Amino acid sequence: MKAAEFQEGKTILVDKPLNWTSFDVVNKLRWILKQKLGVKKIKVGHAGTLDPLATGLLVLCTGKHTKQINDLMVGDKTYTGKILLGKTTPSYDLESEYNETFPTEHITQALLEEVRLSFIGEQDQVPPIFSAKQVNGKRAYELARAGEEVVLKADQINITAFSIDSCNMPEIYFEITCSKGTYIRSIAHDFGVKLNSGGTLIELRRTRSGEQSIGESKTIEQWIEIIQATEL
């Protein structure tokens, strides 16, 4: 592999670490590529954002491959993670503090299975107010953090597979395959509501995006080593 191939166009599969934004990853690898190639500019973009508190597969494109980003974003995504039942946060995850506590003693295996099955298929989903959705020209999370009321429209999503493991109640482990634009935070919140309790997403990892798999990915450090070791 030669460094110039990145400039021409490559697809890079990154295992995004915790607490990095998707743009942090893009900016880091763009900077490394510019240093290696001795250029002032190189196109680098990602095909589908991951929240800072999520880890896993982030698909990056360089050079002419950035033209493929929209096509790469279309495919279904698979995630694994954990939901904590009985508590909620305004952001539906650990970005914000717990604000309400609910009972969980009534939650049986039969009820969990009934609720799980109710999520399979096409449905409308209201995104979290702590999201990047546009509201009157501003990001929803900017308004939410400022204490302003945020009302978001529901989007249609499709969940094709959803499995749960409740052996560590009130934490439940899940794996879910869903369409582009699905907010797993909203799944966690809505799951809690349907149980007449609460739900907070406490862990999330993307393992697949379209045809791309986490098993084919490399860490940021590994990609830096690869780029720096390539010939010009």
Q: SS3 string of 22-37?
A: HHHHHHHHHHHHHHHH
167: tokens are 């052996």
Q: At what angle do helices 184-194 and 109-118 cross, to 10 degrees?
A: 130
Is residue 93 annotated as a catalytic residue, yes or no?
A: no
Which residue's entry shows tokens 């107010």?
A: 129
Rounded to the nearest integer, the mean pLDDT of the chain is 95
**Per-residue pLDDT tens digits for 162-210:** 999 999 999 999 999 999 999 999 999 999 999 999 999 999 999 999 9
What pLDDT is recorded for position 150?
86
- pLDDT band at residue 138, thresholds of 50, 70 and 90? confident
Give the separation between CA 134 and CA 124, rounded to whole angstroms. Answer: 18
- pLDDT band at residue 147, thresholds of 50, 70 and 90? confident
What pLDDT is recorded for position 208?
98
For 140, counting Cβ atoms within 10 Å of its Cβ (0-12 exposed, 13-18 middle, 19+ buried), the class is buried
Other Cβ atoms less than 10 A from the Cβ of 196: the count is: 13
Read off the amino acid at residue 209. S
**Per-residue pLDDT tens digits for 2-43:** 888 999 999 999 999 999 999 999 999 999 999 999 999 999
Other Cβ atoms less than 10 A from the Cβ of 16: the count is: 25
Residues shown for the chain? 232
Residues 69 and 179 sit within 8 Å (Cβ to Cβ):
no
Q: Where in the chain is the domain with CATH 3.30.2350.10?
A: 4-74+212-229, 77-209
User: Which architecture, in CATH terms, is 4-74+212-229?
Assistant: 2-Layer Sandwich (3.30)
Is the pLDDT reported for residue 1 higher than 80?
no
**Per-residue pLDDT tens digits for 98-129:** 999 999 999 999 999 999 999 999 999 999 98
Give the separation between CA 108 and CA 13, rounded to whole angstroms. Answer: 40
What pLDDT is recorded for position 97?
96
- Indicate the SS3 state at residue 191: helix
Catalytic residue among 15, 24, 51, 71: 51
- pLDDT band at residue 80, thresholds of 50, 70 and 90? very high
- pLDDT band at residue 135, thresholds of 50, 70 and 90? confident
Nearest to 91 by CA among 130, 138, 127: 130
Q: At what angle do helices 220-229 and 22-37 cross, to 10 degrees?
A: 10
pTM of the prediction?
Answer: 0.94
Percent of the chain with pLDDT over 90: 87
Is the pLDDT reported for residue 71 higher than 90?
yes
What pLDDT is recorded for position 61?
97
What pLDDT is recorded for position 70?
94
Percent of the chain with pLDDT over 70: 100
221: tokens are 């450090």
Give the separation between CA 209 and CA 3, rounded to whole angstroms. Answer: 26
Nearest to 207 by CA among 188, 227, 184: 184
Non-local CB neighbours of 122 within 8 Å, separated by 6+ positions? 156, 157, 158
State the fold for domain 77-209. Pseudouridine synthase (3.30.2350)
